[in-house]
A and B are shown apart, each in its own frame.
Chain A
Amino acid sequence: MPVKIETKDLTVSFGDVDAIKNVSMEIFTNRVTAIIGPSGCGKSTLIKSFNRMNDLVSNVKITGQVLLDGENIYGTNYDVVTLRKKVGMIFQKPNPFPKSIYDNVAYGPRIHGIHKKEILDKIVEENLKKAALWHEVSDRLNSSAMDLSGGQQQRLCIARALAVEPEVILMDEPCSALDPIATAKIEGLIRTLSRDYTIVVVTHNMQQAARVSDYTAFLYLGKLIEYGLTKDVFENPQNDLTEKYLTGKFG
């Protein structure tokens, strides 16, 4: 199985607090990997270290390696901008820009130097289609993204991320602000997208992890407790902590 991202002894600390401790794991190409664990276990920190969004926090310290296609993204010559183009991210709360639907999707390509109207038109349509939003908004591309429903906004954010042609998509609890129907749509989308993209989903919803992912990692207090095929982890977890977490017997 080809590996897309590999972490080696990754430790992320904020001040004196280690949010991630010596995590080593492999994330496989074109698979959906779910990261689960109790609140504050470091799930978000872990995926934010895959596109170096942790760099935005002032007192962060990162040791170990994160390899993307075998290259250390924390290496001295690695360009963060290129990294973030390759590794897109979807956030917990849908965060469309207060611009039109069209401009939201076109934002990334424009930033990266595409300004031709025809090309942008094509990119917008293509990616709205990929995000299963096109038929809902094709007649009002110029209206504000803020008028969309929460679920539509999140799919717009997915389209926006797809528009810069990423290879990996990180999703940080992408459905936590959505109702069950919108959630189901996003989950379906995640499965569809996994044909072409490597997807890492952080979720506090175990059932969601079970539904959408091929692999599941269980994180507790910054440590990787268990990682394996989702069906194995959910049917027969090897670690007692995982068992307790999954069955809700956590003290």
Chain B
Amino acid sequence: MNKKLLKQTIFFQIFRMTSALVILFLFVMIWTFISNGIGVISWTFLTDMPKRGMTEGGIFPAIVGTVYLTLGAIVFALPIGVASAIYLVEYAHEGRLVRIINSAIINLAGVPSIVYGLFGFGIFVVFLNFGTSILSGSLTLFIMILPTIVSASREALLGVPKSFREGSLALGATKWQTIRHMVLPYALPGILTGAILAVARAAGETAPIILTAVFFFRPSLPRSIMDGTMALASHIYYMATQHHAINLVRPLTYGSVLVLLSIVLSLNILAIVIRTRYRRRKNW
């Protein structure tokens, strides 16, 4: 009996150590970026244009570019993703079509981001001739995050009890009235969580935008969606690997990483907080 317990304790401790190790890794990584990057973070770093071949100055155009690209993606993805989820949950009858749509969504979710990049490159940049532009990048990111939004919205809709719908329909509400008043409001936190996570993911994506939207260096802010741009993620990549004076710009690179990481992790934390609060408040 004691041997049994000893074995159990040993295994549990191994598992606990493993988990702790992964936490440790995250903290070490974040600490690396904070300790190396905090020095360069300043108001001017965030709001200035890059200067002297990006060895000095700020990353303002990159931040702006990331915001544009991300906003563009979510503006397309949210309505279409939510609409798609509503159709699948509320309207579609189980059958061939739903199965095909489902497997399409599952497969979209699994497509590597670089393939999205190449797709965006082939379709938007080349075929539709949008060129290397915010539009091409946004559309590419939109397609990339669409499955995330659909899945999150679908889960959120399915989480609304059937009894709400029955109750409303039984009172003579139409299907759309029921969805609008009795389903969507209660699915909203879940949909929102999904949307925020999708935004975070889009903001951090690099490969697709390298092929569709960004330039190594662009000294001015984009003036229209047909302009190319800089973006934080790609900026980090270029500064870390492509710059002619890698060591000189390393502090700035750390700073950029810290900015990107703060944005993305804040969004993630926000999503987690919303979800936790909503789960706690949920009383049905």
Contact = CB atoms under 8 A, between A and B. Distances in A.
Tell me, yes or no, whether A and B come into direct contact in the complex with CB atoms closer than 8 A: yes
Interface of A: 51, 53, 56, 58-59, 81-85, 88-89, 91, 93, 95-98, 107-108, 111-112, 144, 146, 157, 160-161, 164
A53 B93 contact: no
Contact of A111 (B93, B166, B172): B172
Nearest to A95: B163
Contact of A84 (B95, B164, B172, B283): B172
Contacts of B186: 98
B283 A88 contact: no
A144 B283 contact: yes
Interface of B: 93-95, 161, 163-174, 177, 181-182, 186, 283-284
Given A91-B163, A91-B166, A157-B167, A98 B172 contact: no
21 contacts: A51-B170, A56-B166, A59-B93, A81-B172, A81-B174, A84-B169, A84-B170, A89-B170, A91-B166, A91-B167, A91-B170, A95-B166, A97-B167, A98-B186, A98-B284, A107-B168, A108-B172, A108-B173, A111-B173, A146-B284, A161-B171
Contacts of B93: 58-59
Given A111-B177, A157-B167, A82 B284 contact: no
Contacts of B164: 95, 97
A4 B283 CA distance: 38
B83 to A, nearest CB: 20
Q: Which secondary structure dominates where chain B touches chain A?
A: helix
Given A58-B93, A108-B172, 6 more contacts: A84-B169, A95-B167, A96-B167, A97-B167, A112-B172, A157-B167
Given A95-B161, A144-B283, A88 B167 contact: no
Which 7 A-B residue pairings sit nearest by Cβ, starting from the closest? A95-B163, A58-B93, A85-B172, A89-B170, A108-B171, A84-B172, A111-B173
Contact of B163 (A58, A93, A160): A93
Contact of B171 (A93, A98, A111, A146): A111
Contact of A98 (B94, B168, B283): B283
Given A58-B93, A146-B283, A97 B182 contact: yes
A81 B170 CA distance: 9
B177 to A, nearest CB: 6
Contacts of A51: 170
A164 B163 contact: no
A99 B117 CA distance: 46
B196 to A, nearest CB: 23
